[in-house]
Amino acid sequence: MARSDDRLNRRRLQTSTATTIISISLVLFMLGLLGLIVLHANKLSDYVKENIGFSVIIKEEVKEPAIIEFQKKLDLQPYVKSTQYISKEQAAEDLTKDLGEDFVDFLGYNPLLATVDIHLKANYANNDSLVMIEQELIKNQVVKEVFYHKSLVELVNSNIRKISIVLLFFTLILLLISIALISNTIRLSVYSKRFIIKSMLLVGATQAFIRKPFLLKSLLHGLISAVIAVVLLAVVLYFSRSALPELVDLQDIDMFLTLFGMVTVLGLIITGISTLFAIRRYLRISNDKLYI
């Protein structure tokens, strides 16, 4: 009979532990998914910003060697991600393809000028920086004019700000919900051992002595849950890249390491703090409230 009771208690303990780990894993997985969306949104916003470039129109009398020298100087600037030199002939050829007819033969000359297209780094893709860069470029002797879509830059930055605010709001809401769910799960786990905690106090055990095994076990559960959540996120990433190959351009190993690190740290912090608060309650609770 005693052996049967021991087996039953052991099964209940294993079931409780598994339920706790699975619950925490699912919550961390949902947090990780949101973090994945946020990181991809940041990468996507940088990608969009870095594709907002502007064209530096070169004076007609400037020779090609001088233009190439000018392009090399641009490549060394801290705000430049990449540049592309488009000669008069290349510009005419591209426009001919777009129009479907040779306008040079029709006009008798090539009216187009050579240009250097510049793509900026994401941090500089805002109107204030663009104005300063434009003023700096226009001072160069080879530059005739600088052209970019100011309204497009304003629209892109405005939309990115709105999306960032919405994502931040949902992140905070989900984080609060996650903390509440994990705390309740751990509180229920500690609640089932409230009589053991009180018995240990009655025999003279210190609060630190009682708190230590619960905290270590909780941290272990948090770590296991984080590992499970990371594995699930890795599976999601694998299938998402198979379904949408374009995502590869927005992903890098640093992003994955950041995400997995955040999930692990959150799992340890939330479970640890929740356990401390739960144990603190039952260390101070009176005997008549143990049955409530």
State residue 1's pLDDT score.
Answer: 44
Please check whether residues 57 and 144 belong to one and the same domain.
Answer: yes
pLDDT above 60 (res 252): yes
Please check whether residues 259 and 121 belong to one and the same domain.
Answer: no
Please check whether residues 14 and 140 belong to one and the same domain.
Answer: no
State residue 155's pLDDT score.
Answer: 74
Please check whether residues 65 and 172 belong to one and the same domain.
Answer: no
Q: Within a 10 A sphere around the Cβ of 106, how many other Cβ atoms?
A: 8
State residue 250's pLDDT score.
Answer: 60
Q: Mean pLDDT check: name the lowest of 13-17, 209-213, 228-232.
A: 13-17
Which H helix or E strand runs over 57? strand 53-58
Rounded CA separation 61/133 (Å): 23
**Mean pLDDT over the full length of the chain:** 77
Q: Which domain holds residue 120?
A: 53-148
Amino acid at site 66? A
Please check whether residues 238 and 276 belong to one and the same domain.
Answer: yes
pLDDT above 50 (res 21): yes
**Which ranges of 51-140 does DSSP label H, i.e. alpha helix?**
64-75, 88-99, 103-107, 127-138
Amino acid at site 177? I
Please check whether residues 168 and 229 belong to one and the same domain.
Answer: yes
Please check whether residues 207 and 133 belong to one and the same domain.
Answer: no
pLDDT above 80 (res 19): no
- In DSSP terms, 55 is beta-bridged to 117, 147
- In DSSP terms, 147 is beta-bridged to 55
Please check whether residues 160 and 281 belong to one and the same domain.
Answer: yes
Please check whether residues 94 and 191 belong to one and the same domain.
Answer: no
Q: Mean pLDDT check: name the lowest of 6-10, 262-266, 281-285.
A: 6-10
Please check whether residues 264 and 171 belong to one and the same domain.
Answer: yes
Residue 79, C-beta contacts closer than 8 angstroms, at least 6 positions apart = 120, 121, 123, 124, 129, 133
The whole-number average pLDDT for the span 203-227 is 83
pLDDT above 70 (res 119): yes
pLDDT above 80 (res 96): no
* CATH number for the domain that contains residue 76: 3.30.70.3040
Residue 107, C-beta contacts closer than 8 angstroms, at least 6 positions apart = none
What is the residue whose two structure tokens read 């233009």?
67
171 versus 272: the higher-pLDDT residue is 272
Query: Considering the entire predicted model, what is its pTM?
Result: 0.64
Please check whether residues 208 and 265 belong to one and the same domain.
Answer: yes
Please check whether residues 66 and 109 belong to one and the same domain.
Answer: yes
Name the pLDDT band for 109 (thresholds 50, 70, 90).
low
- Tokens read off for 43: 């990468």
Q: Is 286 helix (H, G, I), strand (E, B) or coil?
A: coil
State residue 285's pLDDT score.
Answer: 65
Name the pLDDT band for 33 (thresholds 50, 70, 90).
confident
Rounded CA separation 267/271 (Å): 6
| Domain C-terminal end among 132, 148, 164 | 148
pLDDT above 80 (res 216): yes
State residue 5's pLDDT score.
Answer: 45
pLDDT above 80 (res 136): yes
Q: What is the pLDDT of residues 140-178, one digit of tens each?
A: 888 888 887 777 677 777 777 777 788 778 778 877 887
| Domain C-terminal end among 96, 115, 148 | 148
Number of domains forming the structure of the chain: 2
| Domain C-terminal end among 148, 168, 194 | 148
What is the separation of C-alpha 29 from the centre of its chain, rounded to a whole number of angstroms?
Answer: 14
State residue 2's pLDDT score.
Answer: 44
